A and B are shown apart, each in its own frame.
Chain A
Amino acid sequence: MSRVIIDNLTKEYNSPGGSIVAVDDLNLAIDDGEFVVFVGPSGCGKSTTLRCVAGLETVTGGSIQFDDEDVTDQKPKERDIAMVFQNYALYPHMTARENMAFGLKMSTDLSKEEINERVEDTAEMMGIEELLEDKPKALSGGQQQRVALGRAIVRDPEVFLMDEPLSNLDAKLRAQMRTELQQLQNELDVTTVYVTHDQTEAMTMGDRIVVLNDGQLQQVGTPLECYHRPANQFVAGFLGSPPMNFLTVEADLENGALRNSMFTLPVSDSVAAEIDSPNLVLGIRPEHIELTDTPETHGEPDRLIETEVTVTEPMGDVTNVYLDIGGESVTVTTDGKTGASAGDRLYMHVPAAKMHLFDAETGDAIKHSDEPIDSTSVPETSSPAETA
């Protein structure tokens, strides 16, 4: 188990059109035994960062340390890591047993018997004892996945690196493996770096999540921190499904209001004091909007916006209602029993406490919702990297 420190990591690729910056001056400290999830859209640099940590990519600048040892220039085999790949990358000409034993054979001095014992113990833990003599071709996707995980676990490495390990599984199996992986990581207590583009995985699995975009660190924090206190509009829009709604507004500080051609919303003095830009983006999560067809009886009539329903998506427990406000689309997650249907004219209520505000130019957050963040399960987040 190791503490992983990524210090000013930069990775550039040469291309005919000049160099492409895949990772831009990334700083991060991952605690011993921590489960950290790198999340972001395709091409954000999350996999490249992971591959740099693995030693599969050379770095252009900066350093990577495991505990106090600088591993930046070490080969993958010298780093005591184990990696799980998106396509599992099992060795097709070897049985599951040989796949799992291969790493131990190559990187340790263990005897055949000791290797066998460890492979069998791990196989038992993973529930794949029956599959040990099968070749990967004979295994289902889920079983291959388990063998690939087993191959990583049996090594008992300092750091686990996982590159979208669940994305080739079907939805049901993915949900099951998600919880299993979490339990495994809790039991083994090995520092884990997990890369995914799936924000559900990021939200549910990680002790902390690292949101990346265009090679740059956007935010590091617990899932709930990132969800309720997004550092900027990108993080706010990336986490959550359906995503946060954004409406462009102008600040009318003299009248203490936010204006859009379709509506005016009052803002409190304390919020107004923090606004230093006239052009803003109002953010509100779909689950925080309330719909009503009786504005006259509503407690906060000045926070209601008249809208028209364009589409409804009944999901069973909830229904996603899509609204149109002067050409901008807003999604509302309501109770599954809602009677709203396309064409209805409804009023949406934007609670002041749940509202986010972002600077329209920089995207930086100006105001967050007041949703509580449960910090009891949050590990120490005092790394200097987070302030970067």
Chain B
Amino acid sequence: MIPDELRLSPSAKDQLFDLLSRGILGCLLLFALFPIYWMIISSFRTRTEITAADPQLLPIELSEIPLIVQDPVILLEILHYENYVTMWGRFPVLDYFINSLVIAMTTTGFALVVGCLGGYAFSKYRFPGKGAVGGALLGTQMIPGILILLPMYLMFIWIQNNIGFPMVNTYHGIIFVYTTFTVPVAIWMLRGFFDTIPDSVEEAARVDGCSRIQALVRIILPMAAPGIAATGMFVFLVAFNEVLFASILASGDVTPFAIGIQSFETQTTAYWGEMMAASTVATAPILVLFVLFQKPIVEGLTEGSVKQ
């Protein structure tokens, strides 16, 4: 038995629980953010600093802080921004980045078009085999990518050899691959959003003079915009970050950033600083996009869960 004086009052319990949960969340956040922090500060370091046996946690000395406060320009001298200058010349960073953008954006476009039409059909239509097809779509997500990598590669080679249409190391090839495995997720996510839109709104549009496709485009899609934004962001990130398929199916002129970044590590040297600088530059636009779209995405991700 716990003596009464040691028992916590209900409000103290709440506070303790609050403190604990914040503590755990803080640790997890630190765990997630530290690599990004390390990437950024490493991009401002020389190779010697990066590979030092006792790496410093801070990019500057504590004694330098008053100086920086007095004159922020001094930061440029303390931090080694050279990596950001030299990386462009050493490797085709911009090409990698553009490749990634082209691949990710086109995939997102395809996945959203197919996902919207498919998700809408699954949500609002009744058709034979609806359950089976829906289940099969979901089932594709249960297969590890590595299992279909080789068959996919062989299929691409077969198409190239027999039909004469190049697939390996092309934009359309890798976009095709990404579309095949993002479309099912897009359909399922969007179906959830369409489910929350009452049928009567679409019916009102049809009575108002719309065909079904007009009702979809003019009424349903604008209403599902947060869901479409969330789904689009999800697909974009999957395509932007993908490494496995890209490593085999997309090299040469279409090498995306996630693969291209590996070239900073050559057989003789690893250009860590420049690699980190390139990574920072590639991550920044995505982060900015995320911050801008955070509200609709969060709304979108939670909307499907609650029946309005």
Contacts and interface: CB of A to CB of B under 8 A. Distances in A.
Interface string B200-222: 11011111111100100001001
Contact of A89 (B204, B209, B214, B222): B204
Given A83-B203, A91-B219, A93-B222, A103 B198 contact: no
B223 interface: yes
A54 interface: yes
A56 B210 CA distance: 12
Interface string B222-266: 110100000000000000000000000000000000000000000
A242 interface: no
Contact of B198 (A83, A87, A155): A87
A65 interface: no
B208 A106 contact: yes
Contacts of B206: 55-56, 75-77
Interface in A76-113: 76-77, 81-83, 85-87, 89-93, 102-103, 106-107
Contact of B209 (A87, A93, A107, A161): A107
Contacts of B214: 106
A92 B210 CA distance: 17
Contacts of B201: 89-91
Contacts of B210: 77, 106
Given A87-B198, A93-B222, A56 B203 contact: yes
B200 A82 contact: no
A107 B219 CA distance: 15
A207 to B, nearest CB: 23
A56 B208 CA distance: 12
Contact of B207 (A83, A90, A93): A83
A81 B200 CA distance: 15
A32 B207 CA distance: 20
Given A76-B207, A106-B208, A89 B198 contact: yes
A54 B208 CA distance: 11
A75 to B, nearest CB: 7
A172 to B, nearest CB: 25
Contact of B204 (A83, A93, A107): A83
A77 B211 contact: yes
A89 B203 contact: yes
Nearest to B214: A106
A303 B214 CA distance: 67
Nearest to B206: A76
Nearest to B126: A14
Nearest to A157: B207
A77 B207 contact: yes
B200 A85 contact: yes
Contacts of A93: 222-223, 225
A217 B200 CA distance: 26
A91 B201 CA distance: 7
Contacts of B223: 91-93
B198 A102 contact: no
Contact of B208 (A75, A86, A103): A103
B209 A77 contact: yes
Most buried by B among A54, A103, A106: A106
A81 B204 CA distance: 11
A75 B205 CA distance: 12
B211 A89 contact: no
B97 to A, nearest CB: 35
Given A93-B222, A93-B223, A87 B200 contact: yes
A93 B223 CA distance: 7
Interface string A41-82: 000000000000011100000000000000000011100011
Contacts of B204: 83, 85, 89-91, 151
A81 B203 CA distance: 12
A161 B214 CA distance: 22
Contact of A107 (B200, B208, B225): B208
10 contacts: A56-B207, A77-B210, A82-B207, A87-B198, A87-B200, A89-B201, A103-B207, A106-B210, A106-B214, A161-B207
Given A55-B206, A91-B219, A91-B223, 16 more contacts: A75-B211, A76-B203, A76-B207, A77-B211, A81-B207, A82-B207, A83-B204, A85-B203, A85-B204, A86-B200, A93-B225, A102-B205, A106-B205, A106-B209, A107-B209, A161-B207
| Shortest 9 CB-CB contacts between residues of A and residues of B | A107-B209, A106-B209, A103-B208, A89-B200, A89-B204, A85-B200, A93-B222, A77-B209, A76-B206
